[in-house]
Structure 1
Amino acid sequence: MANNLLQSPAHASAVPFSRPPTPGVHPLQVGFCGLGSMGYFMARNLANSFKSQLPPLLVYNRTVSKSQKLLAELGASTVRVADTLHQLATECDVIFTNLANDAVVTSVYNEFAKALAQLPPTKAKIFVEMSTIYPTLAGDLDRLLSSHPHTHFVTSPIFGPPLAADKATLLIPMSGDYRSKKEVAFLLVPAVGRKVIDLGGNVEKAPTLKLIGNGMIMGMNELLAETLTLGEKSGIGQQTVYDVIKDLMPAPGVVAYGNKMVNDLFDGSVGFALDGGIKDANHIRRLSAELNSPMPTVDNAHRAMIGARAMHQAQVAAGTQQWDIMDWSALIASSRVGAGLNPFDSKKGTGPTRED
């Protein structure tokens, strides 16, 4: 089972595997489950990358309207909509999943396993889990799927915000069966991401790296929140502090999340939802406790996100919320309230004006 060598030579160094063998008689049927804020862009880019070489991408989403939206955008020659998870599992050679949380992932893969039990595969089939999950769940899923013939499992969570998913510049850790990773990597780069990081055969390794990376990002957000709030309260102004940050540490993530905080851009429907950040923080804190490796910065970020969610839920109850879904950069609300400032509107309740 192999694809049609979809990767250009310019991207060869971004994939740490040799090319798959020459394609067989039957071209790959690829499927995608989960068309959320990340999955929609990944599925769209994946479908567009092989639309002239492979069958239309088969997509499934619990909310059917998202599948229909993708179909309307790309056309029936590029996308087909699956009616059930059973159809996705049995018709596809490679199935990508990008889902909200561990409970949803578990439910979906249990349905896949039922479908495989009813119609056992007669040729190689690869499931690729791209969500942010707790590492031991990856091991559970691997054991669940490996009980079925010709079935392989790869973990491949992704680093990057929805904008990076839209522009196909995601960073892609990958662990699992070597031959399967090779197949999957050449589908994903450059269609979905810019680089694959091979983490070996243990499927728990890629989810572990993903949690470590997300812990670093939320710790960075917590430090940004505290720094910008102090800048505002001191009378220097958060914009001035942000400008200094951009000069000193012009990393894309720092610049992007700093911009959201300074300009109160807390719409989670176009970013990373606060609930997702809290879920990831819970995973990271559990992992750090199990490994006796404290991460107090993540503890602080977790507390700040819980506080921001409580404030947002109070606004929802009062009908005064500006956003239905909060971005996780809204954790700055906790720092602002602690400093006596308005949580979500930096134009209200500013600090003292500096006197020259």
Structure 2
Amino acid sequence: MANNLLQSTAHTSTIPFSRPPTPGAHPLQIGFCGLGAMGYFMARNLANSFKSQLPPLLVYNRTVAKSQKLLTELGASAVKVADTLDQLVRECDVVFTNLGNDAVVTSIYNEFAKALAQSPPTKVKIFVEMSTCVKRFSATNGTMNKSAIGDLNRLLSSHPHVRFITSPIFGPPPAADKGMLIIAMSGDCRSKKEVAFLLVPAVGRKVIDLGENVEKAPTLKLIGNGMIMSINELLAETLTLGEKSGIGQQTVYDLVKEIMPAPILVAYGHKMVNDLFDGSVGFSIDGGVKDASHVRRLSAELNCPMPAVDNTHRGLITARAIHQAQVAAGTQQWDILDWSALIASSRVAAGLNPFDSKKGTGVVRED
């Protein structure tokens, strides 16, 4: 990658690799597949960061309107819309994917494999999977289970010059918007160099290198997500106890900000206290259930109990069930529920309104 594409010295400590060598005469063509709540911001930041140095970012999304929205926002000098996945594969040197669930990831990468078979690449192509996709299934011989990520790696690596990198990210949509994500990465070292110097500081502020085993980065992602969701469950229970005791959830939240001002606690506590449960601008509760299910499956496979995650899964399922009942009755406030709404489970168990703090039945504490 040319020197003018590398970040300044201030960012070198955030990338655990030496600078990649300068390529040939042709600048890299980057592609991005999946413009959801996270992907849209990441694609936008990539396109903005390199619009004067690389060809326009080639984007693909099943809902074409999202691709057109990005094109309208940044202009043709920064973004080009791909008509098909085949075009994305044929034209791009590096393809990033950020997709909603395992089924979509599997479907997209099968299409990638078909395109590679029809047009075998003559130079290196790097595919970078950034979703939380590590669906695992039991092996018949009782040995350690395989993962979908390993299958994807084998699927793509069967084609010449193709490299596969896993690069899940940590952070909510606002962090993606600001380019402040934490990026885990595993796979071929040479390819990671190219990818890391594209992503930092355009998309994230730090890369954590997990080595060449492509399953390591997604595993760290699950471990991190398990911690985050468990903290949110504890926060929800604590705020609910504060409300029910007559102290008030706002007072408890103010205490949290004073003694444990972690960004995650502050951000999700703000959502819970103010009933900001619109999942269209956050992380959907379906995504939370998916991630919790992944963590529980991993913990079961490794005989490593995580009761906090089990309880979080229960809270997410309960909140989703309450919301779906409201949808069926036509009384829902939000079409998509944010995963911070897991506090609904604690509230209902305590006799409070699930999604509206102002309609609670908290006990007024007497001194």
TM-score, normalised relative to structure 2:
0.96
Q: Does the 8 A contact of 2:35 with 2:43 survive in 1?
A: yes
Q: CA deviation at 1:134?
A: 1.1
Look up the SS of the partner of 1:195 in the other structure: strand
Distance 1:3 1:9, change over 3 A: closer
Q: Is 1:215 paired with 2:226?
A: yes
Contact 2:5 2:50 in 1 (8 A): no
**Match of 1:121, as an amino acid?**
P
Q: Distance in 1 between matches of 2:133 and 2:305?
A: 20
**Contact conserved, 2:134 with 2:149, CA < 8 A, in 1?**
yes
Check whether the contact 1:2–1:183 (CA below 8 A) recurs between aligned residues: no
1:325 corresponds in structure 2 to 336
Report the counterpart of residue 347 of structure 1 in structure 2.
358
RMSD: 1.0
Residue 3 (structure 1) shift = 7.6
- For 1:3 and 1:298, how far apart are their aligned partners in 2? 45
Which residue does the alignment assign to 1:259? Answer: 270
Q: CA deviation at 1:127?
A: 0.1
Distance between the aligned counterparts of 1:281 and 1:90, measured in 2? 36
Give runs of aligned pairs for residues 57-68 of structure 1, distance below 5 A.
Answer: 57-68=57-68
Contact kept, 8 Å, 1:3 with 1:27, in 2: the verdict is no
> 2 CA distance for matches of 1:199 and 1:295?
23
Q: Give the SS at the match of 1:303.
A: helix
Q: In the TM superposition, what are the counterparts of 1:1-356 in structure 2 within 5 Å?
A: 4-134=4-134, 136-356=147-367
TM-score of the pair, normalised by structure 1:
0.99
Q: Could you tell me whether the CA contact under 8 Å between 1:178 and 1:200 is conserved in 2?
A: yes
Aligned partners of 2:283 and 2:339 also within 8 Å: yes
Gaps of 5+ in 2: 136-146
Say which SS state the counterpart of residue 150 (structure 2) adopts.
helix
Amino acid at match of 1:102: D
Any gaps of 5 or more consecutive residues in structure 1?
none
Cα pair 2:236 2:272 within 8 Å, conserved: yes
Secondary structure in structure 2 of the residue aligned to 1:250: coil
Report the alpha carbon displacement of residue 208 of structure 1 after superposing the two structures with TM: 0.3
Q: Distance in 2 between matches of 1:114 and 1:30?
A: 20
SS in 2 for 1:347: helix
- Structure 2 distance, partners of 1:153, 1:2, is 22
Is the 2:285–2:337 Cα contact (8 Å) retained in structure 1?
A: yes
- Quick one: distance in 2 between partners of 1:134 and 1:324? 27
Aligned residue pairs total: 356
Helix, strand or coil: the match of 1:127? Answer: strand
Deviation at 1:180, TM superposition (A): 0.3
Is the CA contact 2:5–2:53 (under 8 Å) kept in the aligned structure 1? no
CA–CA separation in structure 2 for the residues paired with 1:196 and 1:40: 20
Change (3 A) 1:3 1:127: farther
Whether the 8 Å contact between 1:3 and 1:20 is mirrored in structure 2 is: no
Partner Cα distance (2:269, 2:361) in 1 = 18
Q: CA deviation at 1:354?
A: 2.1
Counterpart CA distance in 2 for 1:7 and 1:72 is 27
